[in-house]
Amino acid sequence: MSATASTHAATTHAGPHELGFMRTYIFSTDHKMIGRQFLLLGLFMMIIGGLLAMFVRWELAWPESPVPGMAWLWKDTGGVIDPPTYNMMFTMHATIMIFFVIMPVLAGGFGNFLIPLMIGARDMAFPFLNMLSFWVGAVAGVLMLAGFFVDGGHAAAGWTSYAPLSAVPDYTGVNWGQNLWCISLFVLGISSMMGAINYITTVINMRAPGMKMFRMPLVVWSLFITAILLLLALPVLTSAVAMLLFDRTLGTHWFLPSGGGEPLLWQHLFWFFGHPEVYILILPAMGIASEILPVFSRKPVFGYHAMAFSMIGIAFLSWVVYGHHMFVSGMNPALGMSFMITTMIIAVPSAIKTFNWLGTLWGGQIHFTVPMLNALAFVSMFVIGGLSGIFMASTPVDIFIQDTYFIVAHIHYVVFGGSIFGAFAAIYYWFPKIFGRMTNTLLGHLHFWPTFIFFNLTFFPMHIIGLAGHMRRIYNPMQYEFLVPLQHWNVLITISAFCLGLGQIPFVLNFCWSLVKGPKAPLNPWNANTLEWTAASPPPHLNWGPTLPTVYRGPYEYSSPEVSEDYLPQNRALGRAPAGRH
Amino acid sequence: MLSWWLPENVSTYGAEIDWLFELIYYITGVTFVLVAVAMITFLIRYRARPGGKAKFTHGNTTLEIVWTVVPALILVVLTFLSVPAWSRIKMHVPDSDVQIRVTAKQFNWEVTYPGPDGLFDTADDRTFDNEIHFPVGKPIVVHLRSKDVIHSLFVPSFRFKQDAVPGHDIPQWFEVTKPGKYEVPCAELCGFGHSGMRGWAYAHTPEDYAKWLAANVGAPAAAAAGQPAAGTKAPGKGKK
């Protein structure tokens, strides 16, 4: 480790000014630029995924009525969304949000930006592989977007793409859309694998002197565990989509009973990937909250080891719970019992984390900054998403709520209330370091409050209609007598969803304005302890000057009696001559 | 306004599901209130004050053990409370003289009665589109099949849901306590016509069912003579 550090120290003098525009901004091997690229890719895709959700909500509130101003696109129907288009929209909304928004922003963006800076490394272990990871991911994004323009429309079999619906073009009328969906996810799987190998190697080998594993910030722990899950889970999806593509184009019968195949095989493969995937989406946000709560409570994180070990526990358990997606699928019901107990048990580490977040707030000096508000929203919304999961874990109750809006409510509390609030918290918190400028606080509040309020007004009522039996993925609820009395809820949800969408405008304004005109960020605007705040804002190529920081303590020594200030950076030497810098 | 509760339950095992639902509802509700009250209290009580100093503590092992063990115990107990209902509903198909085959296809439920001989795949089978007739007060066995993609037979008021998977014959059962007409949507995305794929379940009194059967299918000849001897025996039939 120290050998690596000194080799790098010798090559420190290269700065961004010595590289051309292409090497600095486009084909950069700098982990920070790659992190920014992933972040911007994710935020751009979020606009598309969000707009798709708006169309879905329009259809559900006012079924089969023309969308204002959309007659130019859907000429045949005069602006009415038809059922195949509707199926395509919710399929692509979920696909884009999961694979091209949350994964690129949290794992790709913050993983790249934060890991080397927070462990005191100059870059990732394999910078060139890192660049490839982004560009292969970008190709996957282009392939995914291309599907909107092919004959027959984009994939319309749900983001879960259950075979045989997804495996035979005639069943959906979608041909190249579904093929491109498979190819894009295949390519994305390769991108994720390159990133995951890089993160794992970097965390294991490139920590600064003194940065023991149990001195790492919890966000680095979360990204490290996420990388391990990515490395092991994504290849399963990659193989499954290849098999699906072969069924569609080469005449194989992996999932088609007509040739001896088994439709449930797809579900086993998909959810064996899919459940670790849920934790891939939420773990980085848990790490982000664990970082931000101590900083703005001016207090050490409560139960650091419990926090780290509960994430390790989640990582192990996430492999043995996937069958809870399949309780009524026709899988042997005896298996349902095993998956029920593992699913119940995986709630325990989440509970431990929640109690420790509360413990962190207890006795603190809480500052309600914009990143803190988003982190608090993460904690409270994740609590609701976690608790609603217990209903589905109980197999008999799941018989009723499987495939209803209760599930839709649950997943949005976890991945929007959890992951997206985590992403917002991270963007507001690290923006000064990433782009060297402060964000606007007023716009931050104008973004946070409408988002928090309309998020709840959009997704909480989904629990209620779900319990009344409202199925997910239906085009027109008015076709069912028992759903007609619920329709006012759909209207309320849709209006709230539109307000939620409009609530993102202050975020876009804030992001763009701050990027160009925001006040220059100081080195350490939040008085935080972790190493990234000891580098310049934004950090130069290779992050630090000739000497790497040396780490003397854990990352959360806030309000320590050893010093007069309420923070004690990881690299400050006490009781002897300051080592290295400072 | 709609009731904030589940739809009316008319099946025998539905009450067990609803009881578990309510139990989880109260456990999670109390947990949520406690967490929310603690959080809001801390946010108000420990808001930053000029000159204030935060407590310098890294945790508490006793607390960690308590809040690991207590949730784990509650969840394990919940699991064991869920086992009997699951076992009764999904793992044991009772004996019944009403055997119905439901074959799902894009975008209909084909409902087949074995006819007077009590056997499927014989000449006297009768098939109806999107109508399931059966008597109340006894277990009804439904054999689920699919001709094309995966569908899911969902009857909210029966607390019944089961996917129909091509290549599988999945025996399931329910027993309804109240005569009436109940909506049967498809709950699994099955293509562009998924929305609107819907049938009706007609729960008759035993007398009405006998009349309907005689008029539309033919009275079961084998019922008095005991077990049938040949033909495709329904896989779930006679299984205890």
Q: Rounded to a whole number, what is the distance in Å from the CA of A108 to chain B's nearest CA?
A: 31
Please give the single-letter amino acid code of residue A330.
G
Contacts of A555 (CB under 8 A, 6+ apart): A215, A216, A217, A218, A529, A530, A570
**Cβ separation A172–B47 shorter than 8 A:** no
Q: Higher pLDDT residue, A304 or B233?
A: A304
Name the residue of chain B whose CA is nearest to A63's CA: B195
Burial of B146 per CB tally in 10 Å (0-12, 13-18, 19+): buried
**Cβ separation B90–A362 shorter than 8 A:** no
Q: Rounded to a whole number, what is the distance in Å from the CA of A375 to chain B's nearest CA?
A: 13
Model confidence band, residue A417 (pLDDT cutoffs 50, 70, 90)? very high
pLDDT of residue B238: 39
Q: pTM for the complete prediction?
A: 0.93
pLDDT of residue B239: 37
**A352 pLDDT more than 50:** yes
What's the rounded Cα separation, in Å, for the pair A241 and A316? 24
pLDDT of residue B221: 61
In this structure, what is the dihedral angle of CA atoms A348, A354, A356, A357, given to the nearest 10 degrees? 160
Contact residues on chain B for A344, CB-CB shorter than 8 A: 75-76, 78-79
Q: Rounded to a whole number, what is the distance in Å from the CA of A172 to chain B's nearest CA?
A: 5
pLDDT of residue A17: 52
Q: What stretches in chain B show pLDDT beneath 50?
A: 1-3, 222-231, 235-240
Side-chain-facing half-sphere of A105: CA atoms under 13 Å: 28
pLDDT above 70 covers what percent of chain A? Answer: 96
Q: Rounded to a whole number, what is the distance in Å from the CA of A32 to chain B's nearest CA?
A: 32
**Cβ separation A303–B76 shorter than 8 A:** no
Name the residue of chain B whose CA is nearest to A357's CA: B39
Least confident of A231-240, A260-269, B5-14, B211-220: B211-220
**A222 pLDDT more than 70:** yes
Write down the H helix ranges in A303-394: 304-317, 333-361, 370-393
Place of tokens 């975008």: B107
What's the rounded Cα separation, in Å, for the pair A181 and A161? 10
**Cβ separation B150–A156 shorter than 8 A:** no
Residues forming a β-bridge with B162: B153
Residues forming a β-bridge with B203: B134, B180
Distance from first CA to last CA of chain A, Å, rounded? 23
What is chain B's Cα-based Rg? 25
Residues forming a β-bridge with B111: B102, B128
CB distance B221 to B151 below 8 Å: no
Report whether CATH 3.30.360.10 matches the domain A2-9+35-534: no
Annotated domain spans of chain B:
14-45+59-91, 99-223
Contact residues on chain B for A300, CB-CB shorter than 8 A: 56-58
**Cβ separation A299–B163 shorter than 8 A:** no
Closest by Cβ to B21, choosing from A391, A403, A473: A391
Question: If you classify domain B99-223 with CATH, what class do you get?
Answer: mainly beta
Q: Higher pLDDT residue, B5 or A86?
A: A86
Q: Report ipTM for this prediction.
A: 0.91
Least confident of A5-14, A80-89, A207-216, A369-378: A5-14
**Cβ separation B76–A352 shorter than 8 A:** no
Contact residues on chain B for A402, CB-CB shorter than 8 A: 152, 161, 187
**A558 pLDDT more than 50:** yes
What's the rounded Cα separation, in Å, for the pair B162 and B151? 8
Rounded to 5°, angle at Cα B177 from B132 and B17: 95
pLDDT of residue A576: 55
Contact residues on chain A for B192, CB-CB shorter than 8 A: 83-84, 87, 156, 172-173
pLDDT of residue A19: 77
pLDDT of residue B219: 75
**Cβ separation A164–B150 shorter than 8 A:** yes
Q: Tell which residue, A533, A367, A528, A519, has the closest CA to residue A440.
A: A519
Mean pLDDT of chain A: 94
**A24 pLDDT more than 80:** yes
Tens of pLDDT along A421-466?
999 999 999 999 999 999 999 999 999 999 999 999 999 999 999 9
Closest by Cβ to A358, choosing from B6, B38, B167: B38
Q: Higher pLDDT residue, A159 or B234?
A: A159
CA–chain centroid gap for A169, Å, is 31
Chain B interface mutation, best of A335, A366, A562, highest count of B Cβ atoms under 10 Å: A366
Closest by Cβ to A340, choosing from B28, B38, B82: B82
Q: What is the DSSP string of A58-74?
A: HHHHSTT-PPTT-TTTS
**Cβ separation A468–B28 shorter than 8 A:** no
- Three-state SS across A456-502? HHHHHHHHHHHHCCCECCCCCHHHCHHHHHHHHHHHHHHHHHHHHHH
